[in-house]
Amino acid sequence: MLPLRAFSTASRNVLRIGLIPADGIGREVIPAARQAIEALGSAIPKTEFLDLDAGFEYFQKHGKALPEATLQKLKEECDCAMFGSVSSPSTKVAGYSSPIVALRKAMNLYANIRPVVSTSTKPEVDLVVVRENTECLYVKQETLEKTADGKQVAKATRVITEHASKKIAQMAFKIAEARPRKHLTIIHKSNVLSITDGLFRESVREVAKDWPGVTVAEQLVDSAVYKLFREPGVFDVMVAPNLYGDILSDAAAALVGSLGVVPSINAGDHFVIGEPVHGSAPDIAGQNKANPIASIRSAAMMLRHLGYDDAALRIEKAVDTVLVEGRLVTPDLGGKATTQQVTDAVLKLI
């Protein structure tokens, strides 16, 4: 349970939610999240859903991955949003950049919160990765140059600021302080990147002075991955720069069975977007095999951030029951159930 909210919409008569399925299985799991929200009935205000465009497939048709109309509607008409998944290519495509990265920057969603919790799997895992969401290498300042002898040289700028590091630290300490263990681990590599990671580490340490009830540890990112698989119980809340947080949370998903069960929210001071951690999975897209759990859990996180704690808990309990029973699970968890069968099982319990 994560008391993350920096704002609340709990007094609204209508809750307007933007839906951005984007690519691949996003078009299957976002409808599942919508159904879970609708199943809550009077536990939340009347909901209105706005279907919005973004993604690589949209880019291929229209030349832009994140249309201005989507941003405008998010800013002017929506209280929150759900994002599905994006098929960002691994090779350079002229004019294309990830729409979810652009969304995070445009909406100032500086915190990516990724809880990783085991239910029916061993070992027991209960941790939260708090990932800075706006800078590091994800500023995407890259160049490709040639040396005098014609060899190519690629360069990427990494940006770490005191301001962003302290903002994500405040969010991480707020989460840690509300959890039973009240423990936070700073993830860095300042033994090598003494200036950039050094600034991140020092900024978090400075914020720690305002949270005397939270114990603080440090871990180099490479050894953190090792320890994550050997002793996951060591970690409670992990706060990390953008790239490290991305890698660590995906790695942690392996401990709980699948990326298909790990949710997240992109949170700022005035907006929140729920987003399952998994990718677009083009190999199973359109086959009714995608796991809807991460998307449904992300919807619950989004609602909790907005102040609807009871509604979020109803969704979370329903999901946990389905996972613990283990009768209806999708192929990524070793089962044969379809996306809709798992969704229906959760809806029945909600």
Burial class (CB in 10 A: 0-12, 13-18, 19+), 54: buried
Token pair for 267: 């949170």
Is 320 designated active site?
Answer: no
Six-digit token string for 44: 């939340």
Pairing state between β 265-267 and 272-274: antiparallel
Encode the chain (350 residues) as per-residue pLDDT tens digits.
454 545 556 556 899 999 999 999 999 999 999 999 999 999 999 999 999 999 999 999 999 999 999 999 999 999 999 999 999 888 889 899 899 999 999 999 999 999 999 987 777 899 999 999 999 998 889 999 999 999 999 999 999 999 999 999 999 999 999 999 999 999 999 999 999 999 999 999 999 999 999 999 999 999 999 999 999 999 999 999 999 999 999 999 999 989 999 999 999 999 999 999 999 999 999 999 999 999 999 999 999 999 999 999 999 999 999 999 999 999 999 999 999 999 999 999 99
Residue ranges and CATH numbers for the domains of the chain are 1-115+257-350 (3.40.718.10), 122-253 (3.40.718.10)
Distances in whole angstroms, Cα of residue 109 to Cα of each of 48, 258, 306, 349: 22, 25, 14, 32
Question: Which are the contacts of 11, defined by CB distance < 8 A and separation ≥ 6?
Answer: none
250 is catalytic: yes
Given the residues 58, 110, 138, 308, the one annotated as active site: 138
- Taking the C-alpha atoms of residue 302 and residue 113, their distance in angstroms, rounded to an integer, is 11
**332 noted as active-site residue:** no
Task: Please identify which of the residues 250, 309, 320, 344 carries the catalytic annotation.
Answer: 250
Active site residue 246: yes
Nearest to 330 by CA among 318, 315, 340, 316: 340
Catalytic member of 222, 310, 336, 348: 222
Whether 222 is catalytic is yes
Residue 1 pLDDT: 43
Residue 90: the pLDDT is: 80
pTM: 0.92
Strands 152-159 and 136-146: antiparallel
Q: Please state whether 93 falls in left (phi above 0), alpha (psi between -120 and 50) or beta.
A: beta
Q: How many residues does the chain have?
A: 350
Given a contact cutoff of 8 angstroms between Cβ atoms, the answer to whether 96 and 79 are in contact is no
Under 8 Å between Cβ of 83 and 275:
yes
Bridge pairing between strands 80-85 and 14-22: parallel
Q: Which of 244, 246, 289, 308 is catalytic?
A: 246
Report the 10 Å Cβ neighbour count for 335. 15
Beta bridge partners, 159, equal 136
